[in-house]
Amino acid sequence: MEMIDYTMLGRTGTQVSRVCLGAMTMGTLMDRDESFRTLDSFAEQGGNFIDTANCYSWWVGKGENVGDESEAMLGEWMHARKNRERIFLATKCGARLRDPRAIRDADGNPRWAEVPSNYEGASRRVILGAVQDSLRRLRTDYIDLYYVHVDDRKTPLEETLGTLNELVASGVIRHLGYSNVRTWRLERIRALCERNGWAQPIAIQQEYSFLRPAAGANLGVAVHADGEFFDYLAENPSMTLLAYSPLLKGIYASREKRLAYYNWSLYDTPDSAARLERLEVVGKRLGIDGNTLVLAWMLHRKPAIIPIVGGSRFSHFRENFAALDVRLDGETMDYLEGRSASA
C-alpha cells in the first residue's frame, strides 16, 4: 500500500494527509485493540489528520455511552504512542447532548426526532466548557482544528465566533472549522469574522458523496455539499471541504446495503440509478468495488476535497485506504460524472 500524500488545508500553509481518518466509532463499535490497530496502521502509512467530536458516539448501545468515548480513545492512543505533535487533530463542539441518557425510549433506543433540540449549541458558556473537556479527554493542551459541529441559529454568531477567536488567540485552538452549515450562513460567518479581524473558518465539513440527494430532500440538521456550495468554495479558496459520510454508510457495496440505509429514500432517484450504473461499469473494468471507487473518485476531484474515511472495523479502513492506489484518468472522471457517454 502506498504512503499517503499531503495537501494544504485552505491557504493556511499547513499540510495534512490527503485523507482524514474518521474516529467516530472508536471506543464504542471499535474496542481498544481494533481502534489502536486502525490508528497505528494509518500513522504507519503517513496519515496524520484525524477527526472526532465531543459526542461520538453517544447513540451506540442502550445508554452506556455519553459521547466521550472517541476522544478518550484517541487521547489514550496518542498518550501511548507519544505522537501528539505528529497528529493534526480535529474535534467538534455543539452537537453534544445536554443529557444523552434522557433521550432514549423505554427500550433504550434514541428518540432521534428530539435530538436536535437537545444539542448543547455553540454559546460562549458551552464552548468554553466543551473545549476544556475535550482537551482533558484528548490528553493535550491544543486542538489543531476545532469545528462548530452543527450551525446554531439560536446563539448570536458574534457570541460564537468571538469566543472561538479568543481560543485561537490564546493558542488553545489552531484553526476553526464549521460543519453542517448552509452556504448563506457561511458567508455571514466569513464576513463577520473579516469585519472583526477574527480567525475565519478554514475547514468546512459537510456530508458529500458520489450520489446526490433528491432536490429538496430533508436531511435534518445535516448539510450535503451541493452546487451552490461548490460555487462558493471556488470563490473562497481559503476554505477546504472535508467530506463526511463519503460512502453514505457503505451503500456502494451492495443493493442490500442501499435498501437498508436509513436515508435511502432521499437518494433513490433516476440520477442515482444512472450514477450507480456508471460506477458499476468503471468498477468492473478496474476490478474494484463501489466503495473504493467512490473514494478514489473523490480524491480526484478538483479543488482538493478531503474525505473523512470511516468504518466500524479495521478491515473497512484497510479496504477504503486502497482508494489511494487507484488512478482515474480524465475520461473516466468525465464518464463517472455524466459528462461523457463512454467509459
In whole angstroms, how close is the CB of 78 to ligand NAP at the nearest point?
16
Contact residue for ligand NAP among 160, 282, 316, 324 (CB under 6 A):
316
72 belongs to the binding site for ligand NAP (CB under 6 A)? no
247 belongs to the binding site for ligand NAP (CB under 6 A)? yes
C-alpha cell at 78: 496518542
In whole angstroms, how close is the CB of 263 to ligand NAP at the nearest point?
11
Q: Which residue is nearest to ligand NAP (CB)?
A: 22
Instruction: Mark the segment that binds ligand NAP (CB under 6 A) among 30-38, 103-111, 163-171, 312-320.
Output: 312-320
Q: Determine the Cα–Cα distance for residues 121 and 143; give it in Å rounded to an integer.
A: 19
Q: How distant is the alpha carbon of residue 319 from its chain centre?
A: 18
In whole angstroms, how close is the CB of 50 to ligand NAP at the nearest point?
8
C-alpha cell at 128: 468554553
Q: Which residues contact 281 (CB under 8 A, 6 or more apart)?
A: 335, 343
Residue 113: CB atoms within 10 A of its CB come to: 9
* Contact criterion met (CB below 8 Å) for 180 and 151: yes
Q: Which of 6, 56, 208, 267 is catalytic?
A: 56
Looking at beta carbons only, is 89 or 167 nearer to ligand NAP? Answer: 89
* Contact criterion met (CB below 8 Å) for 186 and 194: no
**Known catalytic membership, residue 56:** yes
210 belongs to the binding site for ligand NAP (CB under 6 A)? no
Residue 275: CB atoms within 10 A of its CB come to: 20
In whole angstroms, how close is the CB of 51 to ligand NAP at the nearest point?
4
Residues 43-62 that bind ligand NAP (CB under 6 A): 51
Q: Determine the Cα–Cα distance for residues 293 and 200; give it in Å rounded to an integer.
A: 33
Residues 278-297 that bind ligand NAP (CB under 6 A): 291
Which regions of 233-338 does DSSP assign to beta strands (E)? 240-244, 305-309
Residues 137-196 that bind ligand NAP (CB under 6 A): 149, 179-180
Looking at beta carbons only, is 88 or 244 nearer to ligand NAP? Answer: 244
Closest CA to 12 of 142, 199, 205: 199
Alpha helices in 106-150 (DSSP H): 124-138
* Contact criterion met (CB below 8 Å) for 4 and 307: no
Contact residue for ligand NAP among 17, 183, 205, 332 (CB under 6 A):
205
202 belongs to the binding site for ligand NAP (CB under 6 A)? no
28 belongs to the binding site for ligand NAP (CB under 6 A)? no
67 belongs to the binding site for ligand NAP (CB under 6 A)? no
Q: Determine the Cα–Cα distance for residues 17 and 320; give it in Å rounded to an integer.
A: 15
Q: List residues binding ligand NAP (CB under 6 A).
A: 22-24, 51, 149, 179-180, 205, 244-250, 253, 291, 308, 310-312, 316, 319-320
Catalytic residues: 56
